[in-house]
Amino acid sequence: MSISRSRNNQHKVYIPSSARTNQYLLVKFPVTDELINLNKQLIDKSSEQPYQKFYQHLADSFFGINNKLDIESGQFIANEKFSRIRYSPEKLTVQTDQEILFLYSPRNHYSQNTYINGKKRVRIITLVFLANGDNVRQTSAEFHKNVLAALHEFIEINHINKSMVRVSDHQHLTYDLFSKDKGVTGTQTHKLRTLKNRYAADDISLPDKRDVLTYVVADLPINRRIKELLSVDKSKAKPYQPLYDLISHAFIESANKQHLFEGAILANGLTPIVRSRLEEDHKAAGELQKLSFNPFEPNNNFTLHFDGDCLVDSVQFVIIATKDHKTSQGYGKFLNLVEQALRATAKKLNYVTAKEELVIRLHQHLGYDL
């Protein structure tokens, strides 16, 4: 193989044909005094749920516009809960005190639902647009364009201040790193171009001021074999800390060899919420672990978030693509490096690849103010 061809292949990643893709857009806007005054006839302060009709009015408008533009799946959220979307072959919605988890398959599931707390004036309303179809990644630009058309009409009809609307585009690729060892044949080839370049090919220009973030979350299940890598002495304080230290050391050593230095490791049972921010900031908030990174000025370290008193179901590795991982081709090389690091980690932990899963979820995020 020629050197030029070899270098070109570095920018391509070959993932299993069984990989799942999904895309969703989150749109958030504040419930301002102005918006309340425009809809005061729908608000009954004497009622037990004074804001119910107001929220339902906005929801009906949202779904009506979506239907007109053939956007089949959407969620209207006015209850202050964080919305999280993941691929699943089975449709399921789970609510906790802090979040709503939507599990769905873009190919098979369609839904339009409202999640409203009519008793209170919420701070933010969230509109969720879920992509449907067999080729979500290939049609992502078209879906983004269609959502923007729906959003502009929704804003105009309901007299919402455009300058206060935030749009976030989220795209995921999810697969088991060891699918081939379990008999999965066939691959998909990706260069993982930036969303900007992919959308430019479809004549979508994005605002100059935008937040972008590409990262991987990998889940390493703590099964019985992993638990038995060390003898756990439950009579000691933080009995599971040595196990988490063993796993994190194996991963960080493997990651650093692949020039992966930015991210986090979670073994505290919390859900990681990853965002792009100018200042790096990490804090636990109830059932959520908020993680903020600046990919353009990385701190070059993996932060550790462990609860040594608790045996977690899985250890989660968050690996951030920094400015040094972005090439003219995209992020294919980055994902190849991540795979190599995780394979090395699994080898150190004596992974049984024909039976045990190590699920990778690649995130490509884009956010901007409308």
pLDDT one-digit tens code per residue, 73-89: 999 999 999 999 999 88
In terms of phi and psi (left: phi > 0; alpha: psi -120 to 50; beta: otherwise), the region of 328 is: alpha
Cα 100 to Cα 81, 83, 85, 123, 355, distances in angstroms: 6, 5, 8, 17, 31
Model confidence at 4: pLDDT above 80: no
| Average pLDDT along the chain | 92
Residue 191, C-beta contacts closer than 8 angstroms, at least 6 positions apart: 11, 12, 13, 329, 330, 332
State if pTM tops 0.85: yes
Q: From the centroid of its chain, how far is CA 166? A: 16
CA–CA distance, 323 with 337 (Å, rounded to integer)? 15
pLDDT of 234: 85
Give the residue among 23, 122, 130 at the shortest CA–CA distance from 77. 122
Model confidence at 200: pLDDT above 90: no
pLDDT band at 242 (very low <50, low <70, confident <90, very high): very high
Model confidence at 6: pLDDT above 50: no
pLDDT of 1: 41
pLDDT of 3: 41
- Taking residues 20-42, report their average pLDDT: 95
Model confidence at 354: pLDDT above 80: yes
pLDDT of 233: 85
pLDDT of 9: 56
Q: Which of 45-59, 156-170, 186-200, 263-277 has the lowest mean pLDDT?
A: 186-200
- Taking residues 172-178, report their average pLDDT: 95
pLDDT one-digit tens code per residue, 82-132: 999 999 889 999 999 999 999 999 988 999 999 999 999 999 999 999 999
**DSSP E strand stretches across the chain:** 13-16, 20-30, 73-78, 82-87, 92-95, 99-104, 112-116, 124-130, 166-176, 187-190, 211-221, 263-267, 271-276, 281-285, 288-293, 302-306, 314-320, 359-369
CB 366 within 8 A of CB 289: no
